[in-house]
Amino acid sequence: MKLENEHAIITEDLVKKYKNVVAVDGISLKVKKGEVFAFLGPNGAGKTTTVEILEGVRTKTSGKAYVLGYDIDKRQDLEQLKKKIGTLPQEFNTHQNLTVRENLKFWSRMYAKNLPIDDLIALVNLEEKAKERYKNLSGGLQRRLGIAIALVNDPELVFLDEPTTGLDPRARRETWAVIEGLKQKGKTVFLTTHYMEEAEVLADTVAIIHKGKIVALGSPAELIDKYGSENKIIVRGSSSKTRDLIHRTLFQLGPMETAEGEVMISTKKAKIAEVIDLLEKEKVPYRDIITQRPSLEDVFLNLTGERLLGERGDED
Amino acid sequence: MSKRRFFKNIYLSLRRIWAETSRIGLGWVRSPAAVFFTFIYPIIMILLFGYLFAGEGTTTLYSLPYLNEDTYQVGNATLPYYPAQELLTELGLNNDSLGEALGIKLIPVNFNTSEILPQNWMKEQNAAYLLRIPKGWSAMVNASLLNASAPKALVQYYYDPGYTSSTEVMKIIDNALKELNAQLFNIETSIGIITTTTPEREELSYIDFYIPGIIMVTLSTSGMMGLVSTVAEGRRNGIIFKMSATPMKKWEWALAQEIWQIIISLVIALLTALTGVIAFGFQLSAIHPLHVVILIFGSMTFAGLALIIARFVKSPEGAVAATLAFVFPQMFLSGSIIPPEVMPEFLQQIARIFPLYYIAKAMRAAMLEATLPKVWLPLGITIAMGVIFFILGSALTIWKKD
């Protein structure tokens, strides 16, 4: 029986244990219909395991989960659910010897309701590669096909597990555009990622997951405001004398750090205009001033004591 | 559920099954290696086992070196004494057609046994056997003609037990000696044998009985190995789990695999039969409509078994080893290639645990009107196995990650 709800996903104390390892440790969350919900965490945090449980392709140890109102513990509910969701697994693969078009046609036939194949090919910009076999596509193009396959049945809810892993920056941004397009069409997107920029740009709600537990939940702005470090205003000067002058002029704004050629002021309150006024009033020369806002990376670091590992130092 | 919805569900189910079956076929057609081995493997099997075991149309000639020391000189010529010469004649000397019929080709050798022992000579020459007629043999034979108590005249046969043919050659020599014995001592033979074939099998040859067994052996090996590897690879690369996130049901997917196995088995059967016709004169009139039924349910049996084995295999590499561990004993013990009656009793009992035993039995029984009444039990078992193994195989298929 389907529960009608404003939420696309509800989980209550979801747990998945393997012998000595607890991969998912009591995850409770609610995903609103029509939003982009991001699960942000490093590799091995439990993101994929959670997603697979919600998709119905992995068993759980305990807890409850309702996806689009269907109870994933009930076989008939799960059968109904699978008609309405689309999935892009983290390690996506499809039939090597079929072309892009043939693969889309194959997966379309799994469903009663399909989107036109040509529309899907156009959506992910694979028109020129429509007749190319999957095995001959680059990694980025394969991933794009994976996204198209996830949408063949025009799903209400799409699970995208690390959709831009391994893509170059341009391909990544193109994928973001596709995801934003889904949101505009009213789809609910459940996204997992270890790229904090991706979560910041795309997500309405972010759940930060660490060692199987949700350590923070909210919009990116809320999380940064609550758990993020202070803003940093960086004044770049050309000499040590200038730096001393900056120190003496701006000390009241907040703690300062000095690095090669620059002074960093951590402050929640001060604005860059205020700093410029102060420096000009005291006629302190400087080269330029920039603001560095805290990010979800800072949030993760402050909450867990560990780095998230984004584009630089990416473990993928 | 309304009637309309019920039929719509059936339609969608069939559509999914056919989508997967045709997808497998398209992938197969585009895989040169798969096509090559699907066609080449049954041809190799039928040719190999046909020539090895069918026997007809082939002649094995054992080269038998012989050393005749029982000779005398006339001028420059060395001539054999009479009974020795007669023995060699019985063995096909200077008579190629007799030699072919016996399976022996005599090769004269000459060495001095006081300088080198025959065994050492054989080692040097890498000879498997040697017939030696010692000096004085003919004289001893002649003495026996006059005096029944005279010592027996014995030829010497040296052989390497590492060669299985050495027993065959010994039998041929022994038969020739008996023939000569009867001839020289004027022994009339009063006991003989008349051969008659079983009814309506007069025109069939040995290959006609091998073909069905070889077809099923080919299906069991190539079909099972292919499917077990496919399933293991599908789990490793995630396609099976991607499939399980769609409305496709496990049994639908398993049925699609089975349907493909049936299609390919019909192709292999046709190919094997045609090869048998061309290479060995296999008679197509031996094919009965029941053979198609046996093929279908036989393929289902092997496909189901493959799915069961795949359940316990962790990788595509392990898939090959696991399948071979089952397929090879089955190939030789099931009676498809080696008749069960030549095997020890305990092996005959073991043969009965293999599905191929009943399938091959059904295939053979269906070949003739006279043996058709015997087809129903093994046919029934084959059908039951096909259904049961399909149900078990699809039930045991891993469709969800743990």
> According to CATH, what is the number of the domain A7-84+156-226?
3.40.50.300
Q: What is the pLDDT of residue A314?
A: 41
Both tokens assigned to B67: 């050393």
- pTM for this model (two decimals): 0.78
pLDDT digits (tens, 9 = 90+) for B322-356: 888 888 888 888 877 777 777 888 888 888 889 99
* pLDDT of A311 higher than 60: no
Q: Give the Cα separation of A269 and B40 in Å (integer).
A: 79
What integer pLDDT is reported at residue B374 of this predicted model? 83
Query: Could you read off the pLDDT of B120-134 as tens digits, one per residue?
Result: 999 899 899 999 999
CATH 3.40.50.300 residue ranges for chain A:
7-84+156-226
- In this structure, what token pair is assigned to residue A68? 């689009």
ipTM of the predicted assembly exceeds 0.90: no
pLDDT of residue A107: 97
CB contacts under 8 A, A 83-122 vs B, are 83, 85, 87, 89, 91-98, 102, 106-107, 109-112
Asked if the Cβ–Cβ distance from B23 to A82 is below 8 Å, we say: no
Query: Which residues in chain A have Cβ-Cβ distances shorter than 8 Å to B233?
Result: none
Predicted confidence (pLDDT) at residue A298 exceeds the cutoff of 70? yes
Q: Which domains does chain B have, with CATH numbers?
A: 17-55+205-396 (no CATH), 62-184 (3.40.190)
Q: How far apart are CA A88 and CA A164, in angstroms?
A: 11
Taking CB atoms and an 8 Å limit, are A59 and B15 in contact across chains?
no
Instruction: Give SS3 for B167.
Output: helix
Position B53 scores a pLDDT of 63
Q: What is the mean pLDDT of chain A?
A: 88
DSSP B123: H
pLDDT per residue as tens digits for the range A77-130 = 999 999 999 999 998 999 999 999 999 999 999 999 999 999 999 999 899 999
B199 touches chain A (CB under 8 A): no
Provide the number of CB pairs (under 8 Å) joining chain A to chain B.
71
- A211 with A240: CB under 8 angstroms? no
Greatest extent of chain B over all pairs of C-alpha atoms, in Å: 110
Gap between the Cα atoms of A68 and A8, Å rounded:
5
Res B196: pLDDT: 61
Q: Measuring CA to CA, how many Å separate A131 from each of A99, A102, A117, A119?
A: 5, 8, 13, 15
pLDDT in tens, A277-292: 888 888 887 888 888 8
Number of CB atoms found within 10 A of residue A241's CB: 11
Residues in chain B closer than 8 A to A109 (CB atoms) = 15-16, 19
Least confident interval from A33-42, A145-154, A254-263: A254-263
What mean pLDDT, rounded, does chain B reach? 86
- What pLDDT is recorded for position B369? 63
Give the model's pLDDT for residue A85. Answer: 97
Confidence of residue B190 (pLDDT cuts 50, 70, 90): low
The residues pairing with A9 across neighbouring beta strands, listed in sequence order, are A31, A67
Least confident of A38-47, A168-177, A266-275, B303-312: A266-275
The CATH code that applies to domain A230-293 is 3.30.70.980
Position B56: which residue type? E
**What integer is the mean pLDDT of B205-227?**
79
The CA-based angle A144-B250-A189, given to 5 degrees, is 35
Q: Report the residue from B19, B26, B247 with minimal CB separation from A83.
A: B247
Mutate to test the interface with B, among A53, A80, A88, A93 (most CBs of B within 10 A): A93
Question: What's the CA gap between B375 and B356, in Å, rounded?
Answer: 14
Residue B34 pLDDT = 83
pLDDT at B244: 95
pLDDT at position A269: 65
CB A88 within 8 A of CB B241: no
Backbone angles phi, psi at A12, to 5 degrees: -130, 110
| Residue A40 to chain B, least CA–CA distance (Å) | 23
B121, two tokens? 């000579």
Output the CA torsion A6→A10→A12→A13 (10° steps). -140
DSSP string, B288-301: -HHHHHHHHHHHHH
**Could you give the C-alpha distances from B137 to A147, B80, B141, B257, B270, in angstroms and in order?**
92, 11, 6, 71, 59
Percent of chain A whose predicted confidence (pLDDT) is above 70:
95
Average pLDDT on A249-264 reads 75
Tell me how crowded residue B392 is: count the other CB atoms within 10 A of its CB: 15
Q: Give the C-alpha separation, A230 to A302, whole Å.
A: 11
Report, as an integer, the average pLDDT of B304-318. 90
Token code pair at residue A254 = 């907040």
Sorting pLDDT into bands at 50, 70 and 90, what band is B368?
A: low
Cβ partners under 8 Å of residue B243, min gap 6: A110, B234, B253
Look at residue A316 in the predicted model and tell me its pLDDT.
Answer: 35
Query: Which member of A57, A102, A109 has the closest CB to residue B15?
Result: A109
Residue ranges of chain A assigned to CATH 3.30.70.980:
230-293
B45-77 pLDDT, tens per residue? 888 877 776 555 455 788 999 999 998 888 888
DSSP 8-state secondary structure symbol assigned to residue A58: B
What is the per-residue DSSP string for A211-232? Answer: TTEEEEEE-HHHHHHHHS--EE
Query: Is pLDDT above 60 for A313?
Result: no
* Contact check, Cβ <8 Å, A110/B246: yes
Q: Which residue has the tokens 């972010």?
A: A206
Scanning A256-315 for CB atoms below 8 A from B yields none
In sequence order, the 6+-apart residues with CB closer than 8 A to the CB of A312 are none
Mean pLDDT across A31-39: 95
Tell me what pLDDT residue A312 has. Answer: 40
Q: Are B314 and B322 in contact (CB under 8 A)?
A: no
Any chain A CB within 8 A of the CB of B380?
A: no
